[in-house]
Chains A and B, each alone.
Chain A
Amino acid sequence: MSGLVSILADGIAYGMLLFLFSIGLSITLGLMRFINLAHGAFAMCGGYVAATLLNLYGVPFLLTLPAAAIFTALVGMAAERSVIRHVYGMPELQQVLFSIGLAFAAGAVANIIFGPQQQPMILPDWLTSRVDILGVEITGYRLFLMGFGLVAAGLLAALFNFTLFGARVRAAVDNRRAAEGIGINVGRLFAITFALGAGFAGLGGALAVGFLGLDPTFPLKYLVLVLMVVAIGGPGSIGGSFAAAIALGAIDAVFKYFVPQVGGFVIYGLLVLMMLFFPRGLAGRTA
Chain B
Amino acid sequence: MARTEWHPGRVGRRTVLLGASAAAGLPLARPAIAQERKLVVGVVLPLSGTFADQGKNYEDGIKAFQKVNGTKVGNITVETVMRDDQGPASGDLSRRMTQELIQRSRAEIILGYSFTPNAMSAASLLTEAKRPAIIINAATSVITERSPYFTRISMTLPQLSASLGQWAAKSGIKTVYTIVSDYAPGLDAETWFTKAFEAGGGKVIGGARTPVSAMEYSPFLQRAIEAKPDAVFGFNPGGDVSVAFMKQTKERGLTEAGIKLLVTGDVVDDNLVPAMGDALDGVISALHYQVELQNPANQRFLSAFREVAGANAVPSYRTVQGYDGMALIYHALQASGGKTDAESIMNAIKGARLDSPRGPITIDPATRDIVQNIYIRRGQRLGSGWANIAFETIEGVKDPAK
Looking at the complex, which of B69-77, B215-223, B361-369 is the stretch in contact with chain A? B215-223
Interface string of B240-272 (1 = CB under 8 A from A): 100110010011010010000000000000011
Least distance between A163 CB and chain B CB atoms (Å): 35
Complex: chain B residue closest to A117, CB-CB: B53
Complex: chain A residue closest to B46, CB-CB: A116
B52 contacts across to A, CB distance below 8 A:
111, 116, 216-217
CB contact between B243 and one of A213, A249, A260 (< 8 Å): that residue: A213
Contact A264 B210 (CB under 8 A): yes
B49 contacts across to A, CB distance below 8 A:
217
Given contacts A11-B216, A130-B253, contact A261 B209 (CB under 8 A): yes
Contact B218 A3 (CB under 8 A): no
B277 contacts across to A, CB distance below 8 A:
120, 122
A121 contacts across to B, CB distance below 8 A:
275
Looking at the complex, which of A37-45, A237-245, A251-259 is the stretch in contact with chain B? A251-259
CB contact between A211 and one of B50, B226, B244, B271 (< 8 Å): that residue: B244
A116 contacts across to B, CB distance below 8 A:
52-53, 55-56
- State A256–B223 Cα separation when bound (angstroms): 9
A264 contacts across to B, CB distance below 8 A:
182, 210-211, 214
A256 contacts across to B, CB distance below 8 A:
210, 216, 219-220
- State A215–B56 Cα separation when bound (angstroms): 14
A11 contacts across to B, CB distance below 8 A:
216, 218-219
Contact A265 B208 (CB under 8 A): no
Query: Which A residues between 229 and 287 are near B, CB-CB below 8 angstroms?
Result: 249, 252-254, 256-257, 260-261, 263-265
Contact B274 A139 (CB under 8 A): no
Contact B216 A14 (CB under 8 A): yes
Interface string of A13-45 (1 = CB under 8 A from B): 010000000000000000000000000000000
B216 contacts across to A, CB distance below 8 A:
10-11, 14, 249, 252-253, 256
Whether a CB of chain A sits under 8 angstroms from the CB of B88 is no
- State A249–B218 Cα separation when bound (angstroms): 11
Chain B's interface size range is 35 or more
- State A142–B251 Cα separation when bound (angstroms): 10
- State A137–B254 Cα separation when bound (angstroms): 13
Whether a CB of chain B sits under 8 angstroms from the CB of A190 is no
Contact B219 A7 (CB under 8 A): yes
Whether a CB of chain B sits under 8 angstroms from the CB of A212 is yes
A130 contacts across to B, CB distance below 8 A:
251, 253, 256
Contact B222 A257 (CB under 8 A): yes
Interface string of A176-204 (1 = CB under 8 A from B): 00000000000000000000000000000
Whether a CB of chain A sits under 8 angstroms from the CB of B400 is no
B209 contacts across to A, CB distance below 8 A:
260-261
- State A117–B225 Cα separation when bound (angstroms): 31
Contact A257 B243 (CB under 8 A): no
Whether a CB of chain A sits under 8 angstroms from the CB of B351 is no
Interface size counted on chain A using CB atoms at 8 A: 41
Whether a CB of chain B sits under 8 angstroms from the CB of A118 is yes
Least distance between B79 CB and chain A CB atoms (Å): 24
Whether a CB of chain A sits under 8 angstroms from the CB of B148 is no
Whether a CB of chain A sits under 8 angstroms from the CB of B239 is yes
Least distance between B249 CB and chain A CB atoms (Å): 12
Given contacts A139-B251, A212-B240, A265-B211, contact A115 B219 (CB under 8 A): no
Least distance between B83 CB and chain A CB atoms (Å): 17
Contact B56 A3 (CB under 8 A): no
Contact A215 B208 (CB under 8 A): no
Query: Which A residues between 214 and 228 are near B, CB-CB below 8 angstroms?
Result: 214-217, 221
Complex: chain A residue closest to B211, CB-CB: A264
Least distance between A30 CB and chain B CB atoms (Å): 27
Given contacts A117-B53, A212-B215, contact A3 B226 (CB under 8 A): yes
Least distance between A141 CB and chain B CB atoms (Å): 7
Whether a CB of chain B sits under 8 angstroms from the CB of A119 is yes
- State A10–B216 Cα separation when bound (angstroms): 9
Least distance between A10 CB and chain B CB atoms (Å): 4
Complex: chain B residue closest to A252, CB-CB: B216
Whether a CB of chain B sits under 8 angstroms from the CB of A128 is yes
CB contact between A118 and one of B53, B214, B251 (< 8 Å): that residue: B53
Least distance between B379 CB and chain A CB atoms (Å): 15
Given contacts A141-B251, A260-B223, contact A120 B275 (CB under 8 A): yes
- State A263–B217 Cα separation when bound (angstroms): 11
- State A256–B209 Cα separation when bound (angstroms): 10
Query: Which B residues between 46 and 86 are near A, CB-CB below 8 angstroms?
Result: 49-50, 52-53, 55-56
Whether a CB of chain B sits under 8 angstroms from the CB of A52 is no
- State A111–B49 Cα separation when bound (angstroms): 9
14 A-B residue pairs with CB within 8 Å: A7-B219, A11-B216, A14-B218, A116-B55, A119-B275, A120-B275, A141-B251, A213-B239, A213-B243, A217-B50, A217-B52, A221-B50, A256-B219, A260-B219
- Interface positions of B (Cβ within 8 A of A): 49-50, 52-53, 55-56, 182, 208-211, 214-216, 218-220, 222-223, 225-226, 239-240, 243-244, 247, 250-251, 253, 256, 271-272, 274-275, 277
9 A-B pairs with the lowest CB-CB distances in the bound complex, closest first: A264-B211, A213-B240, A256-B219, A257-B219, A260-B208, A116-B52, A116-B53, A120-B274, A10-B218
